Amino acid sequence: MSEVSPEVLSRGRGRRLFNATMVGLGGLLLLFLVLPFVALVLDGGPEAIWRGLGCALTWPALRLSLGTTLVSVVLVVVGGTPLAWWLARSRWRSARWLEILLQLPVVIPPAVGGIALLLAFGRRGLFGGVLERLGWTPAFSVVAVVMAQVFVSAPFYLQAAVQAFGRLDPNLLAVARSLGASPPRLFLRVALPLARPWLIGGAAMSWARALGEFGATLMFAGNMTGKTQTLPLAIYTALELDIHTAQALSLLLVVFAFALLLFLRHFNREAEVTRRLAAP
């Protein structure tokens, strides 16, 4: 295929000084970004890290983190997919405002989210009284862990899903309707399969955010080992006991994150293929 080869962009007059400046500035940032990971892997040696993994905090936190994030992602996808489908097709002006509002949890500090959750669903919160009368006090329980995760991670899925549905070829949807497809069939058989790669990508990002969730969980669910202490909170607690325990737990999260990035790359490639198919 005819593509401009990238080398031609860095040829010609003034290139030496220019290239040196670009490499120098970029290299500094690169070093800064990579060195902490090097330290995280190398510091103390494998034995110290292995011992750290054996700490009493590790397994309860790992179990809790994996369990709660799984539930969170399922809740986000089950509620987020219909919401995104509606938002993507709504011409209602308020829908655009709603989209902005729904992105708010991405940009506010997680601690603020935690306070907001506490004020809403805490025992003394706005709706806490109603919930308590129903015999349900979510704050400082495993339910609160999930609520905090859903709150901070849902926007990542919503954004991906709204974009995915918005990008669908309107002609395809029109044809499906003209062939006799009812709205449910249009959604289930055409829109969902076509948007699938982006939905999966969004769910993966959402899961990563839930797994790393710290601030809102600390405020709204507390830091109780075996009950509400997820991996990030366990790292915080371990830091006071032994830095190598904190290091080991951190490495665990890095491994998950890295696996996730590989997975996303795979799906981005699939998304790219589907996109090309959709617009031949």
Partner 1 sequence: MNPRLSIAVQAALGPFSLQASLEVGAEPLALVGPNGSGKTSLLLAILGLRKPDRGRIALSDEILFDADLAIDRPTEERQLAYLPQDFGLFPHLTAIDNVAFALACRSGRASIRRRRDEAMTWLERFGIGHLAQRSPARLSGGERQRVALARALASSPKALLLDEPTASLDVEGRVEVRAFLAESIRSLGLPTIFVTHDAMDVEALASRVAVLEKGQVVACGLLRDIRANPPTSFANRLLSPSTASPSSALQESCSSQLK
Q: Residue 89 Cβ, how far from partner 1 at the closest point, in Å?
A: 13
Task: Pick the closer one to partner 1 by CB: 55 or 195.
Answer: 195
85 sits in the region (left: phi over 0; alpha: psi -120 to 50; else beta) called: alpha
> Considering the rule CB under 8 A, would residue 188 count as an interface residue with partner 1?
no
Is residue 153 packed enough to be buried (19+ CB in 10 Å), middle (13-18) or exposed (0-12)? buried
Helices (H), strands (E): how many in the chain?
Answer: 14, 0
Task: Pick the closer one to partner 1 by CB: 45 or 180.
Answer: 180
Residue type, 138: P
> Considering the rule CB under 8 A, would residue 90 count as an interface residue with partner 1?
no
Nearest CA among 271, 275, 251 for reference residue 263:
271
Question: Which residues lie below 8 Å from residue 73, measured CB to CB, with a gap of 6+?
Answer: 153, 157, 203, 206, 207, 210
Instruction: Point out which span in 114-122, 143-151, 177-185, 252-260 binds partner 1 (CB under 8 A).
Output: 177-185
- Choose, by CB under 8 A, the member of 38, 42, 179, 257 that binds partner 1: 179
- Choose, by CB under 8 A, the member of 143, 185, 239, 251 that binds partner 1: 185
Q: Using CB under 8 A, count the residues that bind partner 1.
A: 23
Instruction: Point out which span in 77-85, 114-122, 166-174, 232-240 binds partner 1 (CB under 8 A).
Output: 166-174
The beta-strand segments (E) located in the chain are none
Task: Pick the closer one to partner 1 by CB: 135 or 184.
Answer: 184
CA distance 264 to 212: 17
Q: Rule CB under 8 A: which residues touch partner 1?
A: 169, 171-172, 174-182, 185, 189-190, 193-194, 274, 276-280
